[in-house]
Amino acid sequence: MHLSLPVFLAVLTAAALHAGWNALIKIRLDPFLAMTLICFTCGVIALPALLITGLPKAAAWPWIIASVVIHLGYYLFLAEAYRRADMGQIYPIARGAAPLMTAIASLLFVHDPLSVGNGLGIVLLGAGVLLISLRGHRHLVAPSKVAVSCALLTAVTISAYTIVDGSGARAAEDPNAYAAALFAVDAYPMLIICLFWKGLKGVRPAFGFLLPGFAGGAMSLAAYWIAIWAMTVAPIALVAAIRETSVLFGGLIAVIFLKEPMTRVRAASGALILGGLFCLRMF
């Protein structure tokens, strides 16, 4: 099992899509509502796909259930972090520690082989992402401790669901059926919590953002569907690391569309991430 060029390019595309839907969380809507809207639209899109792929094997369902639980924590932590700080601060923190955590977990539990060059690439990429999170703040104002805590907890859930879904898709022996079932089931816990917490009246503002919500859901589904497939044909840790290049796309979105500043630190972190990508692909 190795990282071929087509898989490498596919995961880079997924990273760009991932950054795009994260930017939509910062629309003029409460982040929790925006997250719920995107999560639910993923499920709506996945249902007809499930009719085509069929249900995954029984061996995949314990992994799907575990993933749904972990994803719920991910959505809640990420929404709260975005409520308290800029995308340019939270997104790198949330994604920066995840590849290092995933690499360690992959070696311990999945036993995917990694070369020395692969390990160096993961470290460089993680360092680049963490650099921008620690030194790339808007107006040099650090995010609150609560925001940072939520972002770090998001990183833990990212690592956990990556290992679970990579293992689950392999157990299913059909990444498409696994992904369709996961997204179809994953939509409802977040919706139930949102309705219980905010009520029908509190949910109404989301109806004014159905179009961006649908767009975000489509990007989120496509991004992670690609990653799930990639983890069945390449080492999980490498796929997870390349996904985190989404911070480069996220940084561009934050600067161009959200009017957050471009700094030298962001440029330096970008160079580290590109160096990490080179090591991941060439070694």
Token reading at 89: 């601060």
- Residue 92 main-chain phi, psi, to 5 deg: -65, -40
Q: What's the pLDDT at 139?
A: 46
Between residues 123 and 228, the one the model is more confident about: 228
pLDDT of 260: 67
Q: Is 216 exposed, middle or buried (0-12, 13-18, 19+ CB in 10 A)?
A: buried
pLDDT given for residue 48 in this prediction:
93
Residue 162 burial (CB < 10 Å; 0-12/13-18/19+)? buried
In this predicted model, which residue has the larger pLDDT, 27 or 66? 66
The pTM for the full model equals 0.85
CA angle 133, 101, 3 (to 5 degrees): 100
Least confident of 56-70, 149-163, 183-197, 203-217: 203-217
**Is the model's pLDDT at 244 over the cut of 50?**
yes
pLDDT for the residue numbered 40 = 92
- Residues 122 and 116: their CA atoms lie apart, in Å, by 10
Please count the other Cβ atoms lying within 10 Å of the Cβ belonging to residue 57: 13
Taking the C-alpha atoms of residue 80 and residue 82, their distance in angstroms, rounded to an integer, is 5
Q: Between residues 191 and 274, which one has the greater pLDDT?
A: 191
